[in-house]
Chain A
Amino acid sequence: MSVEPVSCTIKSPVALQIGDTVSDLSRPGVYITDITLAEPVNIQEISFKNYYTAYLTVRVQQREDGSVKWVTCLRNHCLMANPHAEAGSHDYFSIYRQQDTEWDVPAWLSTLTPVETSLDLKGLPDPETVSSSIQQMWALTEIMQASQNAASIGRFDVDGSYDVKLLSYM
């Protein structure tokens, strides 16, 4: 299944504040980012680059039979295991929609397993799937290998000359 990017408008994040005025002493811990789509679309994947967000909640506005409702798809999904340390602060994430669910609310998974692969509950992937994807990978690596100049001892000179005058930096 190919995923195509959907055009959308991303508004600047708005802080959730208690009370009317923004005071210097209290800093908001929650920001809301509104993303508007041009037309209703079945979203399969949301990819983003993090910048110091520790927990993510995703709410989606669904249209059904003329009525509009907000549903929470993902609540407090952890992006940074320790909010006070750097790990995960600049990382890239993808969250995927899980198709088969018993509930009306679509459940979202954050693993990198693509949608059509069923998760083996024992924790190990299905050997057939691994084997077939390895076949594909090998085909790819054959192409890559053929196009590379496989020199195990790489040369650093150019036609025998390595008269370096000065280092260049931007």
Chain B
Amino acid sequence: MDEGSDPSVTIAQIVQRLKGTHLHSQLEKQAKECLHRPEIKLESLKDDVRRWLKASGWERKLQNAVYRELHILTPPGHPRAPPEHTKEPLAYMRKAQAGWEKRIMKSLNSMCTELGIPLSRKRPVPEQKELTKKWNEMGTDEPDLSKFRPVYAPKDFLEVLIGLRNPNNDRSEEVTVRSHWGLIQVSLNVCDISQMREMYPELSFTYGQLGIDDHTHVPPDLFESEHIRVGKKVVSAQDSAAAQQYSRQGCPTGLRAQLWTLILNSDSDPEDLTHYEQLKARVIQHDLLVDNLIYKDVKLTASNDDYYFVFEDYLYQVLLCFSRDTSVLEHFNYNSATPPKSSIHSKSGSEQFSVVYPPNGVIPFHGFSMYVAPLCFLYNEPSKLYSVFKEMYIRYFFRLHSISSHPSGLVSLCLRFERLLQTHLPQLFYHLREIGAQPLRIAFKWIVRAFSGYLSTDQLLLLWDRILGYDSLEIVADLAAAVFAFRAENLMEVTSLASAEAVLADLSTLKVMPLLQIFLFATAV
């Protein structure tokens, strides 16, 4: 947040967003009910009620809600800046994103036309009944998905990013030592290692870490027991900001689920359950073409994964509901992407209405279900799993498949990875370039999925602890560079892209925290 700007604008924005929420009505109700209490005196009514709300924990709930709003609030920009400037300030990136979206829409339309399947249709009642019965075992269905193909795969998106050019930048054709050796050719500000050391002090050698200091050989008294004790305190205090700070050193397995819901402020209220049930009703009512894309994606990715195949049914239950959740549309205020639209006729046929398709505006791509899969280890209650996933998507995951100049956006992460490699492992980078194995071509898929499906689950969750703790995806790029640093010796010996990929094919034995710590704090600068 910009310290120079007027806080009253931000306060007014947050007040408006919280008004009419379930929390607001609960607070009003509590304030009314506490009037009966003996400690509330008429002369000092305002202060007494405030004091009581604080003591009973309601003020903390409000604080957590405000903290959550601050995470997703777009800072008040210049009054003359149009909304698209808030989504993405750079015109050439907006243009590239619009072009990419057009390609996706054309692809979806042609799939629709070729297969003769509508993008959406209302299910006949017998079909609705059937689906309701089979809701908990949708995985047993074996629909014919052979005709469907994913709308795009990450590598298609990589080509678009490689083609990004700043029209104001005069690029000479020759490549010199000072030019950028990688594939991303736009100049965004990315941090170097010395700046990262300042940003991630909790990852340094002087702090204990889960993922390092909870190793079986390390006596728990040194760090682990105390860290768990503090974690329990944070959970009982129900403090969102404290939980976020805490998770920078990792979340204990037994407390992680509660800590993440606290950080994301997605506590399973009865309101969340109602919301989820409503979404489920919508899945029953309408059949969407994107449902088949989701089925196909789950079958191709999560179901083939040793860690995640058991959660297949949960994945359908979450992703099908996600597609119908119009509250997700709100995140397009700060996402450079725009939801696809279509028009439908009213029942009378006289009027045309513009609608968003799918209702949440997000078209899934190959690997999308991997954003949900790791969360299944934490939550077995579908409505809770759903609300955590949704919050993580609208805070972080959406940045991994749209074109923007945001520091946590995919373009910045790719550039950051390449710059780290060129600065700190120049011999390796040069060698890989020479053999036609641009490092980003290998690392891209890791970054797009935030390493889901590539690391073992316990390691992945330790990484995602830090994404939440630092409220940024930048650590994903840092880990990608750290992995290359770790396997540098082997990579120097390969002579082709295929063999480079083979060296980096299996990351399931990697321990992320030692890799990150060594790369960030032991690299000579």
Contact = CB atoms under 8 A, between A and B. Distances in A.
B6 A164 contact: no
A4 to B, nearest CB: 15
Interface string B159-175: 00000001010100000
A12 to B, nearest CB: 16
A168 B342 contact: yes
A81 B106 CA distance: 40
A134 B21 CA distance: 20
Contact of A153 (B120, B278, B286, B341): B278
Contacts of B346: 158-159, 161
Contact of A169 (B3, B106, B326, B347): B106
Say whether chain A's binding surface is mostly helix, strand, loop, or mixed: loop
A163 B121 contact: yes
Contact of B78 (A91, A123, A156, A163): A91
A130 B7 contact: yes
Contact of A141 (B15, B120, B166): B15
A85 interface: yes
Nearest to A139: B12
A54 B104 CA distance: 36
Nearest to B91: A90
Contacts of B326: 153-156
A157 B85 contact: no
Interface string A123-162: 1010000100110011011001100001011111111111
B11 A163 contact: no
B16 A94 contact: no
A86 B90 contact: yes
Given A85-B189, A86-B405, A169-B105, A111 B4 contact: yes
B364 interface: no
Given A141-B12, A155-B326, A156-B355, A164 B77 contact: no
A97 to B, nearest CB: 17
A87 interface: yes
A84 B187 contact: yes
* Interface size range of chain A in the complex: 35 or more
B342 A164 contact: yes
A167 B109 contact: yes
Contacts of A155: 326
Contact of B189 (A87, A138, A154, A166): A87
B173 to A, nearest CB: 15
B207 interface: no
Interface residues of B, number: 64
B525 interface: no
Contact of B347 (A49, A51, A150, A161): A161
Given A153-B327, A167-B119, A145 B20 contact: yes
B342 A165 contact: yes
Nearest to B90: A90
Contacts of B102: 169
Contact of A112 (B5, B101, B119, B342): B5
Contacts of A82: 189
B39 to A, nearest CB: 28
A55 B73 CA distance: 29
A141 B80 CA distance: 20
B356 interface: yes
B166 to A, nearest CB: 7
Given A86-B90, A125-B6, A167-B340, A51 B20 contact: no
A86 B186 contact: yes
A89 interface: yes
Interface in B326-365: 326-327, 329, 340-347, 353, 355-357, 359
B324 A156 contact: yes
Closest 6 pairs between A and B when the two form their complex, measured CB to CB: A137-B12, A156-B359, A92-B78, A154-B326, A85-B189, A164-B120
Given A113-B4, A161-B346, 20 more contacts: A86-B166, A90-B85, A92-B80, A112-B5, A112-B6, A112-B78, A123-B3, A130-B7, A141-B16, A145-B19, A150-B20, A152-B20, A158-B344, A158-B353, A161-B347, A163-B120, A163-B122, A164-B355, A165-B112, A167-B357
15 contacts: A47-B80, A86-B188, A89-B90, A89-B168, A92-B80, A134-B11, A141-B15, A144-B16, A153-B275, A161-B344, A166-B109, A166-B112, A167-B357, A169-B101, A169-B105
